[in-house]
Amino acid sequence: MAAPEHRRTALERVEKFLSDTYFTDCNLRGRLLGDRCPPASLSCFQTPRRILYAEAIEQEFRPAQVGDSFGPTWETCWFKVELNIPPRWAGREVHFIWESDGEGMVWRDAQPVQGLTKEGEKTSYILTSSLKETEPHSLTLYVELACNGLFGAGKGSMIAPPDPDRRFTLSKAELVVFNRNVYELLVDLEILLDMAQLLGEENQRSFQALYTANQMVNVCDVMDPSTFPAARDLAAAIFSQRNGESQHTIHAVGHCHIDSAWLWPYEETIRKCARSWVTVVRLMERNPELTFACSQAQQFEWVRSWYPGLYVQIQDFVAKGQFIPVGGTWVEMDGNLPSGESMVRQFLQGQRFFQEQFGRMCSEFWLPDTFGYSAQLPQLMRGCGIRRFLTQKLSWNLVNTFPHHTFFWEGIDGSQVLTHFPPGDSYGMHGRVEEMLKTVKNNKDKGRVNHSALLFGFGDGGGGPTQKMLDRMKRMSDTDGLPRVQISTPDRLFSVLEKESSQLCTWVGELFLELHNGTYTTQAQIKKGNRECERILHDVEVLSTLAVARGGVFQYPASQLQRLWRLLLLNQFHDVLPGSCIQLVVEDALQYYTEIRSAGAQLQEEAVQSLCRELLQPTAGSAESTLVLNTLPWERTEVISWTGPARTKTLALVTVPSMGYAIVREPSLPPQPVAVRKQEDGSIAMENGVIAVSLDMMGRLTSLRRDSERESVPDGCYANQFALFDDVPLYWDAWDVMDYHLQTRKPVTTLLKPLEITLDGGLRGSASFSLQIGEGSTLTQEIILDAMCPYLRFLTQVEWKEAHKFLKVEFPVQVRSTNATYEIQFGHLQRPTHWNTSWDWARFEVWAHKWLDLSEHGFGVALLNDCKYGASAHGNVLSLSLLRAPKSPDATADIAHHQFTYAVMPHLGSFQDAGVIQHAYNLNFPLHTVLATSAQCLAWSAFSVSSPAVVLETVKQAEDRPEAVVVRLYEAHGSTVVAWLQTSLPVKEAMVCDLLERPAARGHLPLEQQGVRLSFTPFRVLSVLLVLRQ
């Protein structure tokens, strides 16, 4: 007779049968592990260093026991574990169980074999699935225990600064018998219970699952394993009931997002990769269907260097198509702040690495966790052989829900890539029923596509997939009531989506993350190091290429440049360049920039010595002069500081040709010198015939005129006004600045030293002043106007000691426009200056590169900078974000001395015609001066471009052809234009190539009298391979 079944009691009955808390003396969970046996011996030694296995096992080990704790944070303990498996366990599955709150790695026979991390649900190493007499019963393992957790060691909360004195406890170390039949039954019941709970009372399938689970509890006698098969048959009957043809298909791909540095230093990431990937390799041995998508060439390179044995196994699984390199970049970089050329190099270094190591390049760009995506990325992907893009970070938007999960993304040049956001809005799924249902329910493109991705595995701090995740999904492969789940690959998913893509929508422009806008400003010294090192590597490449092309013995420093680029690219990782990392990482990053600066200076000097050797040799009767080098592709006339005949520093006005040099003996005079006057009220006026400014005692502009007619500063307003804001976000301290910070604006008005003239004109006029900011900070600024220069420079020094404050500088301007323009990689885009819609006001703080501009027809004002990224334009106020002071995860963030320069440039006509783009480059790429002794007065230019709309960004040696040069140009105005590239180098052949330097089909370019003719559409990036005559 059928007994009554009450839904709630039945549900809870099944829950308790599976519980690891209640009734474990008589429920199924309590039978998962059988007999236990402690290690025969356990000993350890501790070291502050991360050392190799060979060194570790030579140390002196001391006795240890379960319950001991180890530390402090970032130390490493090596354990020697001697095990004797009892002979009575013959035929049983035997696991070595290890539980600790640190991250562990098991070593066996001198090889890493298993990562052990309690937070990643990995606490056992399988010694045998069925103990045979022939197998060794006595063995020695080593466990390397890192004194940090999966997410570092935050004191009190995950993102708090690390607790330097945390202790890590060993809570379990033992051999156990693992009852596989109990485990399988537990997974069956867990899936049925989830179906019963989550499909809902209106769904008959929910009741079928519940009644089946309840019947299984009836059938199952936990003391009698012979009853288990009947219970499992009941579950199998449910799981084998198939879906209809229209059901959604989920493509499950194993994944383990590992931040290359974040709440732990770079060095610990190397071990995280090994712990996570060796675990994946073990899973692949047991589950040949498992696929695992793995990004970041840098991490593969780390494992190749530090764990060669593991790397060979990974190469084997790559060849089998299970371990799948994705992304094509050196690291998962920030998507906003790296320059266009840096982004190209991320792909160039990444794709070449994957090709060299695995014989294939990646076909999908993979950036699941980065804080927004530049509108130039689609073109850069396409130029590197990638047409597919996967991320999910826009699901973090604070204000607006992004309207798609599968769509075409179109960049500023019109390039499109097929883009997929896994609809479960995560890259760390666990293979649960709930996640499958969310994936289908949440999908914004229902009816357009019927396939989506699910990435499963513990992530951020590593960990990766588990056996249980796989076993859950096996039961859901095609079960009525749930979406189909198949273990798949990114290629299989995107191939299906491409076939289904005819109905997809298109999103044009940037993928702006409405969160983490503080990362454009946090850790200003990292931002400055990035911008400076991008410039240094640009200059070294230009000068080295020219030195090689001029002939002689000079060798292009290809391997040194690769090493320096890889350091710079590593620091562009999406928790380092954004500044959202701990102090240890900041110290590493700044050290890498120091390395790039010093090695770069050395390489630059060697290139200049070779390029200009005959000009630097003393000759009879030669007078001292100065050699001035220009690494930018246009002629420049600027005031420089140089060492005159009497070895004294003087100013000189010089003209230098594009990408070349000039010898300066007698500096030229400006058509109009700079005039500086102090007025009776203490204000100071400066003018140079191009612009005229009036400054009050606090260094604020009360007037800024172009060509003595058009006023830029509105009546009664002050430009160059500093403002301090309270900056207390909701949680993500280093990451977020919230909209409400704008309600706390306080103008900085405490004067320490009023404005005084420091240079009284001629070639340069300047005045300086000092302000107090907040409680303990000071700002000193020198305001500089050079002869013939269309902009006013602000050389700024800040002694910054604030907490949770945000410093900006504001320029209210007499310009009316509903959009402002911001420089991005290889181009620019417009953003609204109003807050009409939620999409508009969510962009209250945005990012830009070297300039932003507000223009109306015929006139505008631009702000230029040499190392800042955060900005905004609201109404008629242009604002540059200067410094923040978050306290997590680095309590010392930005508390330091800072130096930076910004400039204001009023202009007639459009910013394009006024040369704002070129002047922003000039501010960022100073002319180089070298003492020369040549008698001849030479000027030489290597490259020039006929159109001001086209910027020659990069000149480098080709990667695989030492006799060829690669030049990269882009259209910067947003126009369709034909430009001639002229060069004095001995070019014998020219051809178009892609960003990976592969020649294009039909890409041959004729060499003509005017040079090489190049056609551009708006914002097109074009690379040209120039083969030189030997």
Cα–Cα nearest to 313, from 669, 322, 763: 322
- The full DSSP string for 553-614 is SPPP-HHHHHHHHHHHHHHTBTTTTTS-S-HHHHHHHHHHHHHHHHHHHHHHHHHHHHHTHH
Q: What is the largest CA-CA distance in the chain?
A: 119
Cβ-based neighbours of 970, under 8 Å, separated by 6 or more: 340, 826, 827, 950, 951, 953, 1016, 1019, 1020, 1021, 1022
The amino acid that residue 981 corresponds to is: L
CA atoms within 13 Å, Cβ hemisphere of 91: 1
Structure letter (DSSP) for residue 62 = E
Q: How many angstroms separate the CA atoms of 157 and 263, rounded?
A: 12
Please confirm whether the linkage preceding 72 is cis (ω < 30° from 0).
yes
The three-class DSSP label of residue 224 is coil
253: burial class by Cβ within 10 Å (0-12, 13-18, 19+)? buried
Side by side, which strands form the sheet with 625-630? 928-932, 625-630, 660-664, 939-941
Three-class SS string for 655-673? EECCCEEEEECCCECCCCC
What contacts 24+ positions apart, CB below 8 Å, involve 40-44? Answer: 40/82, 40/83, 40/84, 40/138, 41/80, 41/81, 41/82, 42/66, 42/79, 42/80, 42/81, 42/82, 42/173, 43/79, 43/80, 44/70, 44/77, 44/78, 44/79, 44/80
Q: How many angstroms separate the CA atoms of 887 and 522, rounded?
A: 11
Name the CA radius of gyration of the chain, rounded: 32
- Which is the catalytic residue, given 101, 194, 369, 894? 369
β-sheet bridge partners, residue 146:
76, 103
User: What's the token pair of residue 265?
Assistant: 């230093």
Buried b (16+ CB within 10 A) or exposed e, 866-890: bbbbbbbbbebbbbbbbbbbbbbbb
Does residue 271 contact residue 508 with C-beta atoms inside 8 Å? no
List C-alpha distances in Å: 342 to 70, 339, 537. Answer: 42, 5, 10
List C-alpha distances in Å: 24 to 16, 27, 472, 662, 957. Answer: 9, 5, 22, 85, 68
Cα–Cα nearest to 375, from 870, 864, 823, 733: 823
- Give how far the C-alpha of residue 972 lies from the chain's centroid of Cα atoms, to the nearest Å: 25
- Give how far the C-alpha of residue 586 lies from the chain's centroid of Cα atoms, to the nearest Å: 15
User: Angle 91-95-97 (CA atoms, 0-180°, nearest 5)?
Assistant: 155
User: What's the token pair of residue 115?
Assistant: 């990562």
Q: Which runs of E-coded beta strand occur in 321-387?
A: 323-325, 364-366
- Respond yes or no: is residue 369 known to be catalytic: yes
Buried b (16+ CB within 10 A) or exposed e, 742-755: eeeeeebeeeeeeb
Q: How many angstroms separate the CA atoms of 815 and 812, rounded?
A: 9
Residues present in the chain in total: 1030
**Residue 669: other Cβ atoms inside 10 A:** 11
Q: How many angstroms separate the CA atoms of 984 and 979, rounded?
A: 17
The amino acid that residue 960 corresponds to is: D
Does residue 69 contact residue 147 with C-beta atoms inside 8 Å? no
Please confirm whether the linkage preceding 403 is cis (ω < 30° from 0).
no
Which residues are catalytically annotated? 369
